[in-house]
Amino acid sequence: MSESVEVVVGRVGRAHGLRGEVAVAVRTDEPEVRFAPGREVRVEGTGRRLHVEHARTQSGSLQVRFAEIEDRTAAESLKGAVLIAEVDAGERPEDEDEFYDRQLRGLRALAADGQQVGVVGDVIHLPAQDLLAIDVDGVERLVPFVAALVTGVDLAAGTLTLAEVGGLIDDDAEEAR
């Protein structure tokens, strides 16, 4: 069996209806996969496991029914719960230019000349674009995750390469002044 990792896939919102359906604030790019009938999720901080009975989108919100949640009262008790799914550690998005957050965290950030300048600590999702939070000598630098600034990602080597843009990582660069 291959190695797996746990990822956050959603947060339970309000109860919907009388039969235990809940709204889920999606935290995954693939809700159709993570909330497919029969899939198992775990409630963070508990040993509780839930199995998806069905999921549907209604008015832009994902509505999920779990086999273990029989009524509205049980559904209301889940409000605020963070849902975790186990996924294959080697799983990749279909598009070769896309990456899961878990694959980017911990990558060594390299300057265009190959020198390490920092480590990716987190990925921040904004409406316009994603940002990489890179720890550079204890200072967090936010770098837009776009091809013009991040010229390469090598998961096997554990690195990503940044474009040579003054001020991107170094405030003392001539171009930053």
What digits encode the pLDDT tens for the residues 121-168?
999 888 888 899 999 999 999 999 999 999 999 988 999 999 988 878
Which of these, 38, 40, 35, lies nearest to 4 by C-alpha position? 40
> Tell me, what's the pLDDT at 173?
56
Give how many domains the chain has, as a whole number: 2
For residues 166 and 117, state if they share a domain: yes
For residue 51, give the CATH number of its domain.
2.40.30.60
Please, what is the Cα angle at 133 between 127 and 139, to 5 degrees? 140
Average confidence score pLDDT of the chain: 89
Mean pLDDT of 42-67: 93
What digits encode the pLDDT tens for the residues 85-108?
998 877 777 777 788 888 899 999
Measured CA to CA, the distance from residue 17 to residue 82 in angstroms comes to: 21
Residue 1 has pLDDT above 50, yes or no: no
DSSP state of 81: P
For residues 117 and 76, state if they share a domain: no
Which of these, 24, 133, 15, lies nearest to 84 by C-alpha position? 24
> Tell me, what's the pLDDT at 169?
81
Measured CA to CA, the distance from residue 89 to residue 45 in angstroms comes to: 21
Residue 8 has pLDDT above 60, yes or no: yes
SS3 of residue 67 by DSSP = coil
> Tell me, what's the pLDDT at 48?
93
Boundaries of domain holding 35: 4-88
Measured CA to CA, the distance from residue 43 to residue 168 in angstroms comes to: 39
Cα 27 to its chain centre, rounded Å, is 6
Q: Residue 103 in contact with residue 154, Cβ under 8 Å?
A: no
What digits encode the pLDDT tens for the residues 58-68?
888 899 999 99
> Tell me, what's the pLDDT at 134?
95
For residues 44 and 79, state if they share a domain: yes
Please, what is the Cα angle at 63 between 99 and 8, to 5 degrees? 35
> Tell me, what's the pLDDT at 89?
77
